[in-house]
Amino acid sequence: MTDLEKQLLDALEQAEQMLADAANNADVEACRIQFIGRKGVLPALMKKMGDVAPEDRPAAGKTLNRVKQGITQALESREAELRSVVADDEAIDVTLPGRRRTIGSIHPVARVMDDAVAIFRRMGFVVADGPDLETVHNNFDALNTPADHPSRDVQDTFYLEDGRLLRTQTSPVQIRVMESQPPPVRIVCPGRCYRRDTPDATHSMNFHQIEGLYVDRNVSLADLKGVLSEFARELMGPDVKVRFRPHFFPFTEPSIEYDFSCIMCEGKGCSVCKNSGWLEISGAGMVDPNVFRNVGYDPEVWTGYAFGMGIERIAMIRHAINDIRLLYENDVRFLAQF
Does 260 help bind ligand DAH (rule: CB under 6 A)? no
CB-side exposure of 252: number of CA atoms within 13 Å?
26
- The answer to the question of residue 308 lying near ligand DAH (CB under 6 A) is yes
Taking the complex as a whole, the smallest distance from the CB of residue 171 to ligand DAH amounts, in Å, to 4
Q: Indicate whether 292 belongs to the interface with ligand DAH (CB under 6 A).
A: no
194 binds ligand DAH (CB under 6 A): no
Residue 284 contacts ligand DAH per CB under 6 A = yes
d(CA 311, CA 307): 13
Compute the half-sphere exposure of residue 263: CA atoms within 13 Å on the CB side of its CA.
19
* Smallest distance from ligand DAH to CB 183, Å: 16
**CA nearest neighbour of 115 among 212, 208, 226, 234:** 234
Tell which one of 169, 204, 261, 303 touches ligand DAH (CB under 6 A).
Answer: 169
Nearest approach, Cβ of 167 to ligand DAH (angstroms)? 10
* 5 is a contact residue toward ligand DAH (CB under 6 A): no
Give how far Cα 218 sits from Cα of 151, 177, 182, 254, Å. Answer: 31, 20, 16, 15
306 binds ligand DAH (CB under 6 A): yes
138 binds ligand DAH (CB under 6 A): no
Examine residue 283 and tell whether it contacts ligand DAH (CB under 6 A). yes
State the alpha helices, DSSP H only, in the chain: 3-21, 25-36, 41-47, 57-90, 108-122, 136, 172-180, 221-236, 289-295, 311-319, 332-335
Nearer to ligand DAH by C-beta: 211 or 312? 211
Minimum distance, C-beta of residue 151 to ligand DAH, in the bound complex (Å):
8
Q: Pairing mode, if any, of strands 126-127 and 185-194?
A: parallel
Number of residues near ligand DAH (by CB under 6 A)? 12
- Residue 310's DSSP bridge partners are 209
Nearer to ligand DAH, 169 or 294 (CB): 169
Query: Residue 258 carries which side chain, given as an amino acid letter?
Result: Y
Pick 63 or 282: Cβ nearer ligand DAH: 282
Tell me how far apart the alpha carbons of residues 183 and 305 are, in angstroms, rounded to a whole number: 13
Q: Residues 240 to 259: which contact ligand DAH by CB under 6 A?
A: 249, 251-252
Stretch that binds ligand DAH, among 39-47, 62-70, 93-101, 278-286 (CB under 6 A): 278-286
Q: What minimum distance in Å lies between the beta carbon of 150 and ligand DAH?
A: 12
* 157 touches ligand DAH (CB under 6 A): no
Asked if the peptide bond before residue 183 counts as cis, ω within 30 degrees of 0, the response is: no
**CB of 272 within 8 A of CB of 323?**
no
Task: Indicate whether 145 belongs to the interface with ligand DAH (CB under 6 A).
Answer: no
CB 280 within 8 A of CB 259: yes
**219 lies in the binding site for ligand DAH (CB under 6 A):** no
- Is residue 328 packed enough to be buried (19+ CB in 10 Å), middle (13-18) or exposed (0-12)? middle
Residues that bind ligand DAH (CB under 6 A): 169, 171, 211, 249, 251-252, 283-285, 306-308
